[in-house]
Structure 1
Amino acid sequence: MDIAEMRRIPIADFLARLGHGPVRRSGNELWYSAPYRTERTPSFRVNTDKNVWYDFGLGKGGDIFNLAGEFIHSKDFMAQARFISETVRVPMLEMDAGTCRKKTLEPSFEDVRVMPLRYVALKRYLEERGIPPDTASLYCSQLNYHVHKKEYFAIGFPNVAGGYELRSGLFKGCVPPKDVSLVRTGESPSDGCNVFEGFMDFLSAVALKWTEDEDSLVLNSVANVARSYKYLNKYKKIRCYLDRDEAGRRALESLRSRYSDRITDRSNLYDGCKDLNEYLQRSVEKTINNHLKIK
């Protein structure tokens, strides 16, 4: 194969060769759980017409070469080409990487409108996650927007760069630019800061009254750990409520290598659960069951 032939390989077929299948289909879009990282809500989309992909959780996307780079953790074009060739089991021709252009595509969010959180469907989704809508309304908004001329709505959580993390019962994504979110309790930084991977975990901590009236930083992706440093440098104590999985452990170690004994791992508080929101959901369910037993 040459470069052009590689680019024409259907990404869905490429993923199938690697053992990954879609969890749902919507028209010409296939949705997957991200194939190179752990996640609970599928946020990896493949457009079969354009043969491109986009990972809403990381804010990255592109063609089959970009995807190969995520699998092998390399930006080297020739290494990506070799990985594709080996995966589809077809030899590749010698090629000059310098003559090949790649592009990363982002979804086109249009007519984005920010308003108070009021749709019943969104409030019901929050309640299903164990989060009181009134609590979420203190930090989140409702975003109505268009993508490819279709209208959508979701819960929006702002980040420091002016973008929004989006969640609904059917969608997980981000209105670019993607960055960390910082929630302050006062005009100046507090003594300590709580660190969360996603904003659902942050809202869960607020609902559980675990934030201890201190500032909170939400990574919005473990890929944003390095972006958090300029904010976390100001705090004497940093309490981490990260996911209890490999990605969460790597993020914790990155923070610990930089801040040493300023870091406290609080994930033991939700031992047996993947993340803080799962712990909250179980706690709410247990409270409801106990209340029904008393009745």
Structure 2
Amino acid sequence: MALQDIEQISIREYLGELGITPRIENKQQGMYCSPLRKENHPSFKVDYYLNLWRDFGSGEGGSIIDLVMKMENCSFHEAASKLEKRYANAGAGIETDTFSFHRNNVIPNSIPNSGNESTLSILKVLPITHPALIDFVKERKIDLELANLYCREIHYRINGRNYFGVGFRNDRGGYELSNPSGFKGCIPPKDITTIRNNLDTCLVFEGFWDFLSYLTLQNMKQTKHDAVILNSIANMSKAMDLIKSHKDIYTYLDNDEAGQKTTQFIYSTCSTVYNRSTKYTAYKDLNDYLCQKTNVKPEVKKKSVGFKR
């Protein structure tokens, strides 16, 4: 069994086979008394859609492999081997005809394009309706209506396995992908996304969650300015001609080394640049700022493209 198959083994079924059942449950999740310690009140959640667990008593969580590591006090390799031996023949809990989430440790950041039908095919493009993705959007502090203006729920198949996630369309028809497991990737072709209103001001964002965060902080559904969403720092060269054509440029890039270097590059290349990352220096990026900021009160201000701290 491949690692991705092992991680698809149902945590719910695994615990059930051990005689561990939820005290409270619905279609999406179950609350258990923790199998990792003795307790009388359930504080152990299993998300049936994501097939992930979280122990609120200890703050730990993860995949079924992480759970077996904790329950049997063994290494990652030993836990994976135990699960493989247990389920290799029966195939219990591995639902190859259902949809799951990509994870960063099993697939590359760029998915082979649809020109190779045996490798990838897009099955469905629809508004965000899956409960797991709705929760994901809410966790990002983005209104679902706003997310559906710019994003879609993408279902696709790679090598016989089905996946789905939130997709953001770029200028060449590809999709930037993001899902609750932490996976970030794309369905080629890879490119920037632009919003063109033929104005003198341009806003520059690193990713689409940052763009949606800006709109949320500004309490608006769309910007009146031009905007460039890079979808990757590596796409900077594709965006420079458009960015340089503007009189005023406002950058909202990440506060990591790559983001700051890119901000400095724009600053050294263009005439009037305002670095808005100084407004959220204590945070990873604009979406992180939004998620951790309590009682967000968006600034509604004429002729303004910034936001209050």
The TM-score, its normalising length taken from structure 1, stands at 0.59
Aligned equivalent of 1:208, options 190, 214, 217: 217
- Give unpaired runs (5+ residues) of structure 1: 1-22, 27-41, 48-53, 62-104, 289-295
Q: 1:281 to 1:256 in 2, by over 3 A?
A: same
> How far apart, in 2, do the equivalents of 1:135 and 1:190 lie?
23
Q: 1:262 aligns with which of 272, 281, 298?
A: 272
Determine if the alignment matches structure 1 residue 196 to structure 2 residue 208: no
| Deviation (angstroms), 1:216 | 1.4
User: Is residue 2:195 matched to residue 1:183?
Assistant: yes
The 8 Å contact of residues 166 and 173 in structure 1, kept in 2 or not, is answered as yes
Q: Is the 8 A contact 2:111 2:188 kept in 1?
A: no
Match of residue 274 from structure 1 = 284
Q: Residue 176 of structure 2 contacts residue 185 of structure 2 at CA under 8 Å; is this kept in 1?
A: yes
The equivalences for 1:232-271 within 5 A come to: 232-259=243-270, 261-271=271-281
1:138 aligns to what SS in structure 2? helix
What amino acid sits opposite 1:110 in the alignment? S
Seen in structure 2, the aligned counterparts of structure 1 residues 172 and 108 have a Cα distance that, compared at 3 Å, is farther
What is the rounded CA distance, in whole Å, between the counterparts of 2:166 and 2:143 in structure 1? 13
Counterparts of residues 7-18 of structure 1 (less than 5 Å):
none
* Residues 165 and 220, structure 1, Cα contact 8 Å, conserved in 2: yes
| Deviation of the 1:215 alpha carbon | 1.8
1:196–1:240 contact (8 Å) kept in structure 2: yes
Letter in 2 for 1:248: G
SS at match of 2:122: strand
Shift of 1:164: 0.5
1:125-144 equivalences in 2 (<5 Å): 125-144=136-155
Deviation, structure 1 residue 45: 3.9
> Following the alignment from structure 1 to structure 2, what is the Cα–Cα distance between the partners of residues 286 and 192?
29
Question: What is the aligned counterpart of 1:217 among 211, 228, 234?
Answer: 228
Per the TM alignment, residue 108 of structure 1 is displaced from its structure 2 partner at its CA by 3.5
Question: Could you tell me how far apart the structure 2 residues matched to 1:163 and 1:266 are?
Answer: 28
Per the TM alignment, residue 249 of structure 1 is displaced from its structure 2 partner at its CA by 0.8
User: Amino acid of the residue matched to residue 224 of structure 2?
Assistant: D
Question: How far off is 1:128 after superposition?
Answer: 0.4
| Greater Cα radius of gyration, structure 1 or 2 | 2
Say which SS state the counterpart of residue 144 (structure 1) adopts: strand
Mapped to 1, the partners of 2:209 and 2:244 lie a distance apart of 24
- How many Å separate the matches in 1 of 2:111 and 2:121? 19
Q: 1:121 to 1:217 in 2, by over 3 A?
A: same
Identity of aligned residues (%): 36
Question: Quick one: distance in 1 between partners of 2:255 and 2:103?
Answer: 19
In structure 2, the partner of 1:115 is 126
Show the 5 A alignment for 1:99-110.
108-110=119-121
- Report the Cα distance in structure 2 between the residues aligned to 1:287 and 1:262, rounded to whole angstroms: 29
- Deviation of 1:278 (Å): 0.6
Residues 111 and 186, structure 2, Cα contact 8 Å, conserved in 1: no
Give the aligned partner of residue 18 of structure 2.
none
Deviates more, 1:135-144 or 1:208-217: 208-217
* Partner of residue 171, structure 2: 160
Instruction: Quote the Cα distance in structure 1 between the aligned partners of 2:180 and 2:148.
Output: 17
Instruction: Say how many residue pairs are matched.
Output: 195
The SS at the match of 2:150 is coil
Distance in 1, Cα, partners of 2:111 & 2:234: 11
Distance in 2 separating the partners of 1:198 and 1:130: 15
SS in structure 1 at match of 2:214:
helix
Q: Is the 1:163–1:175 contact (alpha carbons within 8 Å) kept by the matching residues of 2?
A: yes
